[in-house]
Structure 1
């Protein structure tokens, strides 16, 4: 099915990306501090958290804070979510005209109920005319900025949309498409279907196709590219608590067998720095230590750290308390076997929350009423 890309990388519009690796947008995760930690380990394309287009064009204060980039970030990449072509077009034009980013990614993959019940995210490609209109509006608004599309296979196995959506995105001027090899109903459960990535690559030969799903290690990325022929990979949950994965990816895709194996002391140092960077970014130590709590289990996965110690770390009320507890870890404990593997939410859903009558007419181009009401602000 093809091999790993050579050192020419993957071209997304005028942007050359080597290694062909993209950090997936993750809500509450991929703010600038985490992006900086990942970028320090290895190059790639590092995308912001999902930004709601209506909130952006309304200049919502929270949203404007979310789209800040660190001074050293190049290329600046922003993911937009929207369901109204007119609003998405305005948001893309705002990004381009005001120099807010260098690349726009469109979210058609989010399976969260608060998004799909409004017809957005992974629910939207089913409405093929509306999907096409949104991509067209974004490309027109973005001008010279490249626009990419991230999506899932479909709503469920009875409503697969990825092949038609991929072709439509390419026809409307998208610079690349990325596919998470799961349906919306799978959420993050089960096993990603890499064969669907191969089928999309065959169906959309004229623009890069990136594969996403179950990339827990650099070797997984190499295997996906060899098995599917995709042009690059998108890494999400695999880098949670593992920013050094991006160094591994750069080495692996360049044919280097070396891999990062930090001991617990090095991991603890990264944890302390991550929390401190969050405090500086938010301007609030309290907000930072609370936000950092979800990262603790991801960083410590596989290490022998007792439950009481973990609870202490997740209940730290200040950076000083967090650092003190990190100092108490067994710093010489080596990188554990089996440290890679699933992190984050992994359960499947019994059904996908959709607007009433959503599946009645795939050609209906009507914008769902109040579609972005409950997620305005980012």
Structure 2
């Protein structure tokens, strides 16, 4: 399999971290990137993470900055792709996308939004996902990103199924209005200049209102660089089974640009199987990495054919949990707030392990790193990776109906009544 090309950026392995509200902030992206780059691993595969800038380096840790200096090419040796005999050593990469950024909030320089668009110096390419329903506002946001060098890649959200988004005509509801979709894409591509613009979408609103094939052709015509398809409708939300056949159909319908598949990737084997069965050019991983940031190391190994990495013991998982909470505290500039924000991850990290209901409760109300250390240290760290710990995590239910603006489905060509007042004013979760 060849590397994934997103504009000027060669992405290997061909894996993208899906934007998830309240999850894919800078600390979580750091963890995922460390595993993907081989900086952090289990069972002796790799040394621990390097120290934060200004701190003493961890003994034996590779110098990531030296291995991948500023200005270095993102493009692996085309004659010897990663994993092939004779290939030059390469720092493992993926594409790690920010939380959803609302175009209105970005243009208005909302304080929370400006924090969310801040990237670590080692994050490259820097990827921002934008949400918007007004072409003019989307255009302003994209030009702001390009003019102020806020990112290297822009992804547009046409896949979110939550009611607060779809009731405004946004997310997975928007592609039904074909002229509006085209107008937004045209403004975004025009305003982005040299920055590549991609889009993420669902199959449609429901089985009676599928939009993905029309949306794919519009995207090609308007200069979008790549498309990601979640193989579910908005009505399915996160329930049922993702339709990988739809990903294959989209791949056939838009041969001009890369197509990425999303939905029901819980393991590296799932990702490889999706590529093999659909012919897609790469995968987008969302809920599969909840409590499993090391999945990106597994994915790198799977696509490079180097064998499955060792599964972690609970002690190793606990070390990742602790680092995650610490990173959140540093990012929020408040240790207690970081630990509180980390609480939502605890059930995902500990799934399948013998923890006990009382200990889970205590972990879920912890409020300091010292308390977290004490609780995690009281558990059996030698527990091996439990059978059945993989599989669905996060939201798994469908919805009875999709919340839409009144009369939304009457005419796919009628876009009257939509404008800047339909924009959300906050970003992320």
Q: TM-score range by the shorter chain?
A: over 0.9
Give distance in 1, aligned partners of 2:140 and 2:298: 38
Map 1:307-346 → 2, pairs under 5 A: 307-346=357-396
Q: Which residue, 62, 74, 79 being the options, matches 2:129?
A: 79
Give distance in 1, aligned partners of 2:326 and 2:426: 28
Q: Which residue, 167, 191, 206 being the options, matches 1:141?
A: 191
Q: Give the superposition deviation at 1:340.
A: 1.1
Q: Give the superposition deviation at 1:122.
A: 0.3
Q: TM-score, normalised by structure 2?
A: 0.85
Match of 2:226 in 1: 176
5+ residue gaps, structure 1? none
Give distance in 1, aligned partners of 2:417 and 2:276: 40
Q: Which residue, 65, 68, 86 being the options, matches 2:115?
A: 65
Q: Which residue, 126, 132, 155 being the options, matches 2:182?
A: 132
C-alpha deviations, 1:171-228, integer Å up to 9, x for none? 1000000000000010000000000000000000000000000000000000000000
Q: Which residue, 12, 21, 28 being the options, matches 1:27?
A: 21
C-alpha deviations, 1:45-76, integer Å up to 9, x for none? 00000000000011111100111111211110
Match of 1:53 in 2: 103
Give distance in 2, aligned partners of 1:41 and 1:199: 32
Give distance in 1, aligned partners of 2:144 and 2:184: 15
Q: Give the superposition deviation at 1:259.
A: 2.5
Give distance in 2, aligned partners of 1:21 and 1:96: 24
Match of 1:40 in 2: 34
Give distance in 2, aligned partners of 1:126 and 1:30: 28
Q: Does 1:14 align with 2:8?
A: yes
Give distance in 1, aligned partners of 2:133 and 2:369: 40
Q: Does 1:227 align with 2:282?
A: no
Indicate if the aligned counterparts of 1:83 and 1:367 stay in contact, CA closer than 8 A: no
Give distance in 2, aligned partners of 1:166 and 1:328: 52
Give distance in 2, aligned partners of 1:308 and 1:118: 42
Larger of the two Rg values belongs to structure: 2
Match of 1:365 in 2: 415
Q: Give the superposition deviation at 1:27.
A: 0.3
- SS in structure 1 of the partner of residue 5 of structure 2: strand
Match of 1:91 in 2: 141
Q: Give the superposition deviation at 1:278.
A: 0.2
Q: TM-score, normalised by structure 1?
A: 0.96
Q: Label 1:58 to 1:287 Cα distance change in 2 as closer, same or farther (>3 A).
A: same
Q: Does 1:115 align with 2:165?
A: yes
Q: Label 1:262 to 1:38 Cα distance change in 2 as closer, same or farther (>3 A).
A: same
**Which runs of 4 or more aligned residues in structure 1 lie more than 4 Å from their structure 2 counterparts after TM superposition?**
none
Please, which moves more after superposition, 254-263 or 178-187?
Answer: 254-263
Indicate if the aligned counterparts of 2:135 and 2:184 stay in contact, CA closer than 8 A: yes
Q: Which residue, 247, 254, 271 being the options, matches 2:297?
A: 247
- SS in structure 2 of the partner of residue 297 of structure 1: helix
**What is the CA RMSD across the aligned residues, in angstroms?**
1.0
Match of 1:285 in 2: 335
Match of 1:186 in 2: 236
Indicate if the aligned counterparts of 2:134 and 2:423 stay in contact, CA closer than 8 A: no
Give distance in 1, aligned partners of 2:356 and 2:152: 44
Please, which moves more after superposition, 286-295 or 35-44?
Answer: 286-295
Count of paired positions = 371
Match of 2:317 in 1: 267
Q: Does 1:296 align with 2:290?
A: no
Give distance in 2, aligned partners of 1:249 and 1:156: 31
Indicate if the aligned counterparts of 2:173 and 2:404 stay in contact, CA closer than 8 A: yes
Give distance in 2, aligned partners of 1:73 and 1:312: 34
Give distance in 2, aligned partners of 1:286 and 1:55: 27
Q: Does 1:195 align with 2:245?
A: yes
5+ residue gaps, structure 2? 37-92
Give distance in 2, aligned partners of 1:257 and 1:368: 51
Indicate if the aligned counterparts of 1:252 and 1:258 stay in contact, CA closer than 8 A: yes
Match of 2:268 in 1: 218
